[in-house]
Chains A and B, each alone.
Chain A
Amino acid sequence: MKRSIIDLWVGIFVAIGLASIAFLSLKVANLTPQSADKSYALYAEFDNIGGLKVKAPVKAAGVLVGRVSSIELDRKNYMARVNLSIDSQYNFSQDTSAEILTAGLLGEQYVGLVQGGDPEDLKPGGRIALTSSALVLEQLIGKFMTSFAEGGAAKDDKQP
């Protein structure tokens, strides 16, 4: 086989490889080129984040508005500080609340934002004050069991 044809085929081969890697990066791993000016940061502190992961979606009314950019433990109050990266086209009021929700019974966990009524919007870097923690299944079952046992013994309605 002539050399030029071999060169052509190897060129096609390498192009296929580069296209595959591009596909894996962009379409599969979703490496969308997020520039800094298109999103702004917020943070929220939770008692317990359950199984929330970095890069988990942030949703408002079920619409994806951002992602979890990092998670760390606050050394002073030992709460989980979750940093969010929010798409700059969405603004949230200062009394917005954040909660950690689960998609389906065993699905992934995400941060849900509920818009409040305050006319003032949260500034970039601001803190979402109202938070409610993740539902941890074991704790839930534990609570249910104790209340069930107590309820059975004292017939005392202790449901929240």
Chain B
Amino acid sequence: MFETLLSPLRKLGHWVIEAIWRLGVISRFFVAILMNSGQSLLRFHLVIREMYFSGVLSLIIIVVSGLFVGMVLGLQGYTTLVRFGSADALGALVALSLLRELGPVLAALLFASRAGSAMTAEIGLMKATEQLDAMSVMAVNPIARVVAPRFWAGVLSMPILAALFNVMGIIGGYAVGVLMIGLDSGSYWSQMQANVDLHVDVVNGLIKSLFFGMAVTLIAVYEGFDATPTAAGVSAATTRTVVTSALVILALDFVLTAFMF
């Protein structure tokens, strides 16, 4: 009876210790990536190659999702604003929601599930098929050759994708607000321009996405590198990448928002 009461508590304790332990390991891994980044930044074509896989191949999903999110914002924003007689402020509403929150967060979530999971699966499979071992036996550090280029490619791609997501969202809001509902095009843009501040809204949003990019790619490459080298292990690692990334993005978003705005 006492045992049944204690066992969830014990599990919680284990879970907390495990989480702290993982945080320590992942921080050391991060330092290892930074220490081994010199080579990948000197041989920048390695990073460019990975940017193709993490950035270019994520373009479609970012463009389409951004457009739809903007359209939904336009529709929902209009029905709410029109009750207060401020439908003219739609442009400002769409732009501010996207720039400050939705753009960086949604782009990062999409990036985690599109590029992050692929990164984990790729590195995990390289480990399972002894490719990482082969590399280190060939006196090539896999962190420098495999992990660091992917990390930097992700960090560089993320703000680009977030900016594109914002633009597509604003265009989507325009399509619904102006072309469909028939608001004035001039007031859509002028309300936006009057309320959006370059530094506070645009730049801070992009800084957010830079942090998200670092967090997501760090989690993705770590989970891949740390995966149990079996089919089940790699698939579990891929799942963990998406779940952990999503949680970290949302938690980090709160912290960054509290600091920035």
Interface of A, secondary structure class, is helix
Given contacts A20-B164, A27-B189, A28-B99, contact A13 B55 (CB under 8 A): yes
Given contacts A29-B198, A104-B85, contact A10 B51 (CB under 8 A): yes
Distance of A108 Cα from B159 Cα, bound (Å): 31
A50 to chain B, nearest CB (A): 16
Distance of A29 Cα from B160 Cα, bound (Å): 17
B163, A20: Cβ atoms closer than 8 Å: yes
Residues of A within 8 A of B197 (CB): 29, 55
Distance of A21 Cα from B99 Cα, bound (Å): 11
Residues of A within 8 A of B189 (CB): 27
B49, A3: Cβ atoms closer than 8 Å: yes
A107, B89: Cβ atoms closer than 8 Å: yes
Distance of A126 Cα from B203 Cα, bound (Å): 34
The size of the chain A interface, using a CB distance under 8 A, is 29
**Which residue of the partner chain A has the closest CB to B92?**
A108
B196, A30: Cβ atoms closer than 8 Å: yes
Q: Does B221 contact A (CB under 8 A)?
A: no
Chain A residues 1-32 with CB under 8 Å of chain B are 1, 3, 6-7, 9-10, 12-14, 16-17, 20-21, 23-25, 27-31
Distance of A132 Cα from B67 Cα, bound (Å): 44
A21, B206: Cβ atoms closer than 8 Å: yes
Chain B residues 58-110 with CB under 8 Å of chain A are 59, 84-86, 88-89, 95, 99
B178 to chain A, nearest CB (A): 14
B125 to chain A, nearest CB (A): 19
Place the interface of chain B in its size category.
35 or more
B252 to chain A, nearest CB (A): 21
B183 to chain A, nearest CB (A): 14
Q: Does B202 contact A (CB under 8 A)?
A: yes
Q: Does B21 contact A (CB under 8 A)?
A: no
Distance of A10 Cα from B161 Cα, bound (Å): 12
B202, A24: Cβ atoms closer than 8 Å: yes
A10, B48: Cβ atoms closer than 8 Å: yes
A107, B194: Cβ atoms closer than 8 Å: no
Q: Which of B48, B49, B99 has the most CB of A within 10 A?
A: B48
Q: Does B193 contact A (CB under 8 A)?
A: yes
Distance of A12 Cα from B51 Cα, bound (Å): 11
Residues of B within 8 A of A106 (CB): 84-86
A14, B194: Cβ atoms closer than 8 Å: no
Distance of A14 Cα from B163 Cα, bound (Å): 11
A63 to chain B, nearest CB (A): 12
A13, B198: Cβ atoms closer than 8 Å: no
Contact code string B194-215 (vs A, CB < 8 Å = 1, else 0): 1111100110001000000000
Residues of A within 8 A of B84 (CB): 106
**Which residue of the partner chain A has the closest CB to B84?**
A106
B85, A105: Cβ atoms closer than 8 Å: yes
Residues of A within 8 A of B86 (CB): 104, 106-107
Pull 22 A–B residue pairs with CB atoms less than 8 Å apart, ordered by A.
A3-B45, A6-B52, A10-B52, A13-B59, A14-B160, A17-B159, A17-B160, A17-B164, A21-B163, A21-B202, A24-B163, A25-B198, A27-B193, A28-B99, A28-B166, A29-B197, A30-B192, A31-B198, A105-B85, A107-B86, A107-B88, A108-B195
8 closest A-B pairs by beta carbon, nearest first, are A17-B160, A30-B193, A20-B163, A29-B198, A6-B52, A29-B196, A20-B167, A9-B56
A contact residues vs B (CB 8 Å cutoff): 1, 3, 6-7, 9-10, 12-14, 16-17, 20-21, 23-25, 27-31, 55-57, 104-108
For the complex with contacts A13-B157, A25-B202, 9 further pairs of A-B residues with Cβ separation under 8 Å are A9-B52, A10-B56, A13-B51, A21-B206, A24-B166, A28-B170, A30-B196, A55-B194, A108-B194
